[in-house]
């Protein structure tokens, strides 16, 4: 059975065009791009082409792109680079809704002699920009903020903030893993110093990412080794995956319009269909400042994990909170930061679409999910009780 895949913020299908572009780089063109011979040199040329395509997608220059193994590596590289390049500064500012790739590193830093300040969000998941500005000081080495939230899709005004941060003498990094390919990005028109992206979120394979480093940004490599990536990331390149990321970037640029019209319309159809059919269903996060493909919906008084299991019986794939944190029954730190009540956070499901989704798939979810919620609510000890009863259980 072909799944109805609505979990594209967790990972995406590798585009068939991407697979096709990659295959010869396993079996035919397997040379090492650092080799002196033409066989290796041709591979280096293909990497150069991929670098230009990734740069084009975000309006950057090719020399500003460093290939990495994933979004997490890009995030770690950026944060450590800013700290190592500015050893006198030991203050980091971030938000309290970051992906674990940033959150866990910041928590490590806080345990190891750095001062970390967390900027709150409001009930819609929007960043408290003034709180951020008030935390900037002479010791601030880096401000790291996600461009778009992986759970709710809520967008932060990173371009605006970056300008202020640079003027205050700190480095601004954005984790744009969920934004790249979904939102237009023009690095030539903003002051963001570093930006992370990940291949598997935009129809390239897993195991490849990139870090944008603005020319002139003080940098210290995370992986010390060979001279690859102009000494900014040692290690023989994951050639086939880099070639795939280049092709995926080209496709994403061509499909950006579709993402923001057809995919967005499908997302809205799903959201309104479910909200009309299911009482006590509430969208988490700001309705406007949001990725076009993401909808996080709280089905109050039921367990998200139970919903997922029952959807799974119909081949429908979604996620409760972040895919990286599901497996634990703790309500997501993102929804907690937004002050979503416990009984709503627990019943929250994230649907994340892609250009491969169809109207028929969406209509099937709108048909199958309401009876599932109905069944689960009949079993729920919280359903039909006065709201106050369950909201005090936290
Ligand atoms: N940052 C965000 C916002 C993400 O959504 C993810 C993955 O879910 C990551 C970072 C980590 O990316 P990767 O899985 O490529 O390490």
pLDDT tens-digit readout, 64-113:
999 999 999 999 999 999 999 999 999 999 999 999 999 999 999 999 99
Distance from the alpha carbon of residue 201 to the mean position of ligand 1, in angstroms: 8
> What whole-number distance in Å separates Cα of residue 166 and Cα of residue 114?
20
On the CB side of 243, CA atoms within 13 Å amount to 20
Distance from the alpha carbon of residue 370 to the mean position of ligand 1, in angstroms: 31
pLDDT cut 70: percent of the chain above it: 95
Which tens digit of pLDDT belongs to each residue from 22-69? 999 999 999 999 999 999 999 999 999 999 999 999 999 999 999 999
Q: Sign of the CA dihedral 166, 93, 136, 179?
A: positive
Collect all residues with Cβ–Cβ distance below 8 Å to 167 and sequence separation of at least 6.
none
Asked whether 291 and 283 are in contact (CB, 8 A), the reply is no
Q: Does 390 score more than 60 pLDDT?
A: no
**Catalytic residue list contains 70:** no
User: Could you tell me if the CB of 348 is within 6 A of ligand 1?
Assistant: no
> What whole-number distance in Å separates Cα of residue 276 and Cα of residue 12?
29
User: Could you tell me if the CB of 240 is within 6 A of ligand 1?
Assistant: no
Tokens at residue 119, please?
């900027």
User: Could you tell me if the CB of 198 is within 6 A of ligand 1?
Assistant: yes
Q: Does 323 score more than 70 pLDDT?
A: no
Distance from the alpha carbon of residue 141 to the mean position of ligand 1, in angstroms: 23
User: Could you tell me if the CB of 325 is within 6 A of ligand 1?
Assistant: no
Q: Does 278 score more than 60 pLDDT?
A: yes
């Amino acid at each position: 059975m072909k799944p109805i895949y609505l979990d594209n913020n967790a990972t995406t299908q590798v585009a068939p065009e991407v697979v096709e572009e990659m295959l010869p780089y396993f079996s035919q063109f397997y040379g090492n791009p650092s080799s002196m011979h033409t066989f290796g040199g041709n591979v280096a040329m293909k990497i150069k082409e991929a670098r230009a395509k990734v740069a084009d997608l975000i309006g950057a220059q090719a020399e500003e792109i460093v290939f990495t193994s994933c979004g997490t590596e890009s995030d770690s590289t950026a944060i450590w680079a800013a700290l190592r390049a500015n050893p006198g500064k030991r203050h980091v500012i971030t938000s309290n809704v970051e992906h674990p790739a940033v959150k866990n590193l910041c928590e490590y830093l806080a345990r190891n002699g750095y001062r970390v300040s967390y900027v709150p969000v409001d009930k819609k998941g929007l960043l408290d920009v003034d709180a951020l500005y008030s935390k900037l000081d002479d010791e601030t080495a880096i401000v790291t903020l996600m461009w778009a939230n992986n759970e709710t899709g809520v967008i932060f005004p990173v371009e605006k903030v970056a300008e202020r941060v640079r003027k205050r003498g700190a480095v601004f990094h954005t984790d744009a893993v969920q934004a790249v390919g979904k939102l237009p990005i023009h690095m030539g028109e903003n002051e963001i110093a570093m930006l992370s992206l990940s291949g598997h979120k935009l129809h390239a394979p897993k195991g490849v990412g990139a870090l944008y480093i603005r020319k002139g940004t003080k940098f210290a490599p995370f992986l010390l080794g060979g001279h690859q990536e102009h000494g900014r990331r040692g290690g023989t390149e994951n050639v086939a995956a880099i070639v795939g990321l280049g092709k995926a970037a080209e496709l994403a640029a061509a499909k950006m319009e579709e993402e923001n019209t057809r995919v967005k319309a499908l997302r809205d159809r799903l959201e309104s269909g479910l909200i009309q059919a299911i009482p006590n269903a509430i969208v988490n996060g700001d309705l406007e400042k949001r990725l076009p493909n993401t909808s996080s919906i709280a089905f109050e008084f039921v367990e998200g994990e139970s919903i997922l299991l029952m959807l799974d019986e119909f081949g429908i794939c979604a996620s409760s909170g972040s895919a990286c944190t599901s497996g634990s029954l703790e309500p997501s730190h993102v929804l907690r930061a937004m002050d979503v009540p416990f009984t709503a956070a627990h019943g929250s499901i994230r649907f994340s679409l892609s250009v491969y989704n169809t109207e028929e798939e969406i209509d099937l979810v709108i048909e199958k999910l309401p009876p599932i919620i109905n069944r689960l609510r009949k079993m729920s000890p919280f359903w039909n009780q006065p709201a106050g009863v369950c909201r005090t259980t936290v």
